[in-house]
Amino acid sequence: MSLHKSEQPHICILDAFTTQPGDLNWDSLKTLGNLDVFDRTKPEQVVERARGKEILITNKVLLTRKILDALPDCKLICLLSTGTNAVDLEACKEREIPVCNIPSYSTDSVAELVFALLLDWARGVRPHAEAVREGAWTRHEDFCFTLSPQVELKGKTLGLVGFGDIAQAVARIARGFGLQVSAFTPHPEGKPDLGQRFVSLDEIFSTSDIVSLHCPLTDETEQLIDQTRLNEMKKGAVLINTGRGGLLDESAVAEALESGQLGAALLDVLSTEPPKADNPLLTAPHTVITPHIAWATRAARQRLIGILTGNVEAFLNGKPENVVNGV
């Protein structure tokens, strides 16, 4: 399928708010077609809003085979994300609809949050600062006090599951902290030498003081971190997940935190977002959870919109870019 730029396509963004909550704009897209922007779209609203639109843009709104059957005018789907879980890629391929994602826009932002979480665990800056504000230091008889063990990162082993762009950025930062970096990837060939040591997945879990997940969510990696893997980890090790919530068996992780087998879970993602109130990780000890914000710096979102605009323009020029379904 193709559509020439001069035809002024109808473009629809189904869930725009998290990408552009008011501090940026969609002006670059408006130059390419007639743009409809919806902050949020409920499942029952998708077909009505997307009907007659040639270009659909989604982040988390699902575009299933059934929905696509009701949208014969669709010629391009663009994701507001790197992940592709929201779209039925096979159904799009059958209909010759290219699906384009946004690669590498948030690499540095996500890597920075990994260390924000890690430093929060290691030094407890936030609870100590809150205690000072509440008067605890003023009342104390000593010149200093600690509310949690103060952990030095230098010399500890950081295990990276996956070694794509984000994991590589994490590895570069880790060198500055003096961490020893191990990494697992099914395809280590051609990867840059950043001081990491490539090891097996089993060795990542058995030897790392800190394990950080940077692999995609697939049938093979769903609930990768289960009771068996948790039992393989060093007692008291730290788990970081800024990838996808589905990588964890959340009940097993909560149990490992309760027992002390897992020292801490530092998470930016959960299996269901927003989480259900009964998610066991919300009340598990030694857990820090942020609401999927690793990607959300202004700089990263500005890059996202720029790449998105480029994806639409490339399609209109007959040369689609960042296509993930082989069309």
Domain extents in the chain: 5-105+298-316, 107-289
User: 179 φ, ψ to 5°?
Assistant: -75, 145
The strand order across the sheet containing 55-58 reads 34-37, 10-13, 55-58, 76-79, 99-100
Q: What is the CATH number of domain 107-289?
A: 3.40.50.720
Residue labelled with tokens 């948030």:
106
φ/ψ of 275, rounded to 5, equals -75, 155
**φ, ψ at 135 (rounded to 5°):** 100, 5
Chain segment 65-95, per-residue pLDDT in tens: 999 999 999 999 999 999 898 999 999 999 9
pLDDT of residue 281: 98
In the block, tokens 């029952």 appear at 44
Can you give the pTM of this predicted structure? 0.92
Tokens of 274: 């927003």
- pLDDT for res 57: 98
Instruction: State the DSSP H helix or E strand holding residue 301, giving kind and residue range, or none if neither.
Output: helix 298-316
pLDDT for 235-268, tens place per residue? 999 999 999 999 999 999 999 999 999 999 999 9
Dihedral of CA 43/49/52/53: which sign? negative
Strand pairing of 197-198 and 99-100? unpaired
What pLDDT sits at residue 6? 53
Q: Which backbone phi and psi does 13 adopt, to 5 degrees?
A: -100, 120
Same fold? 5-105+298-316, 107-289: yes
Determine the pLDDT at residue 2.
58
What CA–CA distance (Å, rounded) separates 253 from 231? 10
Instruction: Give catalytic residues, as residue numbers.
Output: 244, 273, 292
Q: What is d(CA 13, CA 265) in angstroms, rounded to the nearest whole number? A: 34
Two tokens at 102? 């946004």
* Residues lower than pLDDT 50 in the chain: none
Query: How confident is the model at residue 3, as a pLDDT?
Result: 62
User: 5-105+298-316, what's its fold?
Assistant: Rossmann fold (3.40.50)
Which pLDDT does position 187 carry in this prediction?
92
